[in-house]
Chain A
């Protein structure tokens, strides 16, 4: 009992104290009497709490690790997924940006040339494992893409379309060994072929075969596409590349150079398919800013290569027009289209440089003369040829014998002196430029070139076929060695003025014989139609008979007759 009372007493006391504490503290909330007490407690327990926390935190973290492990795992998954997504988006973004830039450049380039293009993206590539160099693009017939269309990107020519599907198309690149394209040297009218070198060159080089072995060709000059007939498969004026190295090819008919393409074929992405070629050849307009070398070249060439002769005589002008035309409005025939390359007579300027300028002089007559008269097959008629023909035909014939006679004399001279001679003539022509002068010169040339063309056919065939395959045709220059066998002087060269219809291959080799005494001159005789001047060198061609509607022409300057035949 005592114990209980004492206990009660103590309890009451303690409760009373507690109540006092509460009361006091409650009533003086602002500045409590117990602030010092709290302060002491805080300092005492504060130390203890700090220590306790120091001990407890690692434990707590450790426990946290376990308690939050599933959650953390989930979060890690989520974050990882998000990270991957963001990374993907970032990549896609930069990719998009690159594509956008590429697209812009491509559109800029095609706008410069006046092309209508369909933008596409490379979706697959066939490369090193195989021998072909081809890519698949994501535009097809649904987008208006058809086979044999030019493909370019922001840098230049990429290739051509070979197959199309509704939503995709196969593009053979310029670097494919089996592809070749007509090319023209910037600032001049020298033309040649670009052939791919395949995987060996890793897309860094292409071979440029200049048809005119005598034309000056230096490293650093740039080349653009020459263009095919109707812009298919190659549109004119598309930048191709820069010449890196010129091979010394003595004894060859053509000069070989290696060019570095503007396009990086190892990093193709956005490309454009030219669905409509421009009305006019953009010439060099699409090339990037002209380097000093090009300017120099331009300034140098005119005197003896590009500058227009003062007076265009009908004959040269007509051929020149052909050449011009090929370069401008109506690019030469497509590849794989046989071209009948007529052998230019000696009369035709062997290096073809002079005739062209005259074409410039007569833009009216020179502008697409073939459009009006062209036959379905792309035969080209030369507008003012008619005027020249009567005389020319007879003349050609008469000179034929003459030439044949002189041929033997000339042959021994060797090919070296031939270009030289030509150059002289050229110089004279550009300097003087009257008709009479010209004619006399052409006679001279004719004479100097006279040779039995028999031996040249093979060579010609090679060249011509190369040209055919490559898509260089109308407007292309062709050349063939003269003399029997290799090593003789160049017998003729010229510009193709017409193109055979597609699908008539091999004419060149087949009917080379029989013509008007020209021996195996291609295109002469054999075809059943009259050939105007299939004298020895100026073969040409035509075709209305067996070849029905396709003809082809040849040669610049050499041929004077038979134009009507072609036309008719």
Chain B
């Protein structure tokens, strides 16, 4: 319950930070990291396909509803739902290749968003715009994803190592 509430708060925080801070940073290249996407990816990695899909849908829907929104409602819900499901499924099927899944998701997400927009006849979803923007979006997202993964793996590994200490690190004492 607490974890669920923390997750909800975290989601809200991520979305707010995305629109209030990240999108306003004058970053070179025109693009910027997409915290919401990365949040969905991380959640999906942790929760699997179903959880990923649900979280993706929820965060996408939140993104659709979030005030500065001028796109068709459900667009990001659809995209993030798919992303969450795929990443979660990949994590379930091939736990060792989560990095690849993340990279693919990060690279595909903008294309999917643009694709959905294009299908809906959004005049702003232009291939040329996407081509200009896509590299920077991918680079920022990958960099941020790498950072997140490093942090997460560090913490989790440390916890694991600490758990291992009593058994492996002090054999003498154990024998004594």
Which residues of A are at the interface with B, using a C-beta cutoff of 8 A? 3-4, 6-7, 10-11, 14-15, 17-22, 24-26, 29, 32, 34, 37-38, 40-42, 45-46, 48-49, 51-53, 56, 59-60, 63-64, 67
Q: Is B20 an interface residue (CB 8 A)?
A: yes
Q: Is B110 an interface residue (CB 8 A)?
A: no
- Check B81 against A60 for contact (C-beta < 8 Å): no
Q: Which residues of B contact A17 (CB under 8 A)?
A: 57, 74, 77
User: Could you show 26 A-B contacts with beta carbons less than 8 Å apart?
Assistant: A7-B49, A7-B53, A7-B88, A7-B89, A14-B53, A14-B81, A15-B81, A17-B77, A18-B57, A18-B78, A21-B73, A21-B77, A26-B120, A29-B72, A32-B73, A34-B73, A41-B67, A49-B19, A52-B17, A52-B21, A56-B17, A56-B20, A59-B21, A60-B21, A60-B25, A63-B25
Q: Which of A22, A37, A60, A64 contacts B65 (CB 8 A)?
A: A37
- Check A21 against B74 for contact (C-beta < 8 Å): yes
Q: Which of A29, A32, A56 contacts B21 (CB 8 A)?
A: A56
In Å, the complex CA distance between A15 and B57 comes to: 8
Q: Which residues of B contact A51 (CB under 8 A)?
A: 16
Give chain B's interface secondary structure class. helix
In Å, the complex CA distance between A562 and B48 comes to: 139
Q: Is B50 an interface residue (CB 8 A)?
A: yes
- Check B20 against A10 for contact (C-beta < 8 Å): no
Q: Is B134 an interface residue (CB 8 A)?
A: no
- Check B67 against A10 for contact (C-beta < 8 Å): no
In Å, the complex CA distance between A40 and B62 comes to: 11
- Check A25 against B73 for contact (C-beta < 8 Å): yes
Question: Closest Cβ of chain A: how far from B129's Cβ, in Å?
Answer: 20
The verdict on A48 contacting B16 (CB below 8 Å), with A14-B57, A41-B66, A60-B21 known, is yes
Most-contacted residue by chain A among B26, B61, B73, B81 (CB, 10 A): B73
Chain B residue with Cβ nearest A43? B67
Question: Closest Cβ of chain B: how far from A46's Cβ, in Å?
Answer: 6
In Å, the complex CA distance between A59 and B54 comes to: 33
Q: Is B173 an interface residue (CB 8 A)?
A: no
Known contacts A52-B16, A59-B21, then 13 further A-B pairs from the complex at CB < 8 Å, ordered by chain A residue? A7-B48, A7-B53, A10-B54, A11-B50, A11-B85, A15-B82, A18-B78, A20-B74, A25-B73, A45-B65, A45-B67, A52-B19, A52-B21
Give chain A's interface secondary structure class. helix
Residues 42-93 of B at the A interface (beta carbon under 8 Å): 48-50, 53-54, 56-57, 60-62, 64-67, 69, 72-75, 77-78, 81-82, 85, 88-89
- Check A22 against B57 for contact (C-beta < 8 Å): no
Question: Closest Cβ of chain A: how far from B89's Cβ, in Å?
Answer: 7
Q: Is B40 an interface residue (CB 8 A)?
A: no
Q: Is B138 an interface residue (CB 8 A)?
A: no
Question: Closest Cβ of chain A: how far from B60's Cβ, in Å?
Answer: 7
Question: Closest Cβ of chain B: how far from A210's Cβ, in Å?
Answer: 83
Q: Which residues of A contact B21 (CB under 8 A)?
A: 52, 56, 59-60
Q: Is B109 an interface residue (CB 8 A)?
A: no
Question: Closest Cβ of chain B: how far from A310's Cβ, in Å?
Answer: 100
Q: Which residues of B contact A19 (CB under 8 A)?
A: 74, 78
Q: Which of A18, A25, A26, A52 contacts B20 (CB 8 A)?
A: A52
The verdict on A6 contacting B50 (CB below 8 Å), with A14-B57, A56-B20 known, is yes
Question: Closest Cβ of chain B: how far from A25's Cβ, in Å?
Answer: 4
Q: Which residues of B contact A21 (CB under 8 A)?
A: 61, 64, 73-74, 77
Q: Is B159 an interface residue (CB 8 A)?
A: no
Chain B residue with Cβ nearest A54? B20
The verdict on A11 contacting B53 (CB below 8 Å), with A26-B72, A34-B73 known, is yes
- Check A18 against B77 for contact (C-beta < 8 Å): yes
Q: Which of B15, B54, B60, B85 contacts A45 (CB 8 A)?
A: B15
In Å, the complex CA distance between A40 and B61 comes to: 13
- Check B74 against A22 for contact (C-beta < 8 Å): yes
In Å, the complex CA distance between A53 and B26 comes to: 15
Q: Is B24 an interface residue (CB 8 A)?
A: yes
Q: Is B115 an interface residue (CB 8 A)?
A: no
- Check B50 against A7 for contact (C-beta < 8 Å): yes
Chain B residue with Cβ nearest A35? B73
In Å, the complex CA distance between A157 and B45 comes to: 98
- Check A25 against B72 for contact (C-beta < 8 Å): yes
- Check A42 against B67 for contact (C-beta < 8 Å): yes
- Check A22 against B78 for contact (C-beta < 8 Å): yes
Q: Which residues of A contact B19 (CB under 8 A)?
A: 49, 52
Chain A residue with Cβ nearest B22? A56
Residues 12-44 of B at the A interface (beta carbon under 8 Å): 12, 15-17, 19-21, 24-26
Chain B residue with Cβ nearest A27? B72
Most-contacted residue by chain A among B15, B50, B75, B89 (CB, 10 A): B50
- Check B24 against A60 for contact (C-beta < 8 Å): yes
Chain A residue with Cβ nearest B27? A67
Q: Which residues of A contact B56 (CB under 8 A)?
A: 14
- Check A48 against B12 for contact (C-beta < 8 Å): yes
- Check A18 against B74 for contact (C-beta < 8 Å): yes
In Å, the complex CA distance between A553 and B71 comes to: 111
- Check B72 against A22 for contact (C-beta < 8 Å): yes
Q: Which residues of B contact A3 (CB under 8 A)?
A: 50
Chain A residue with Cβ nearest B93? A4
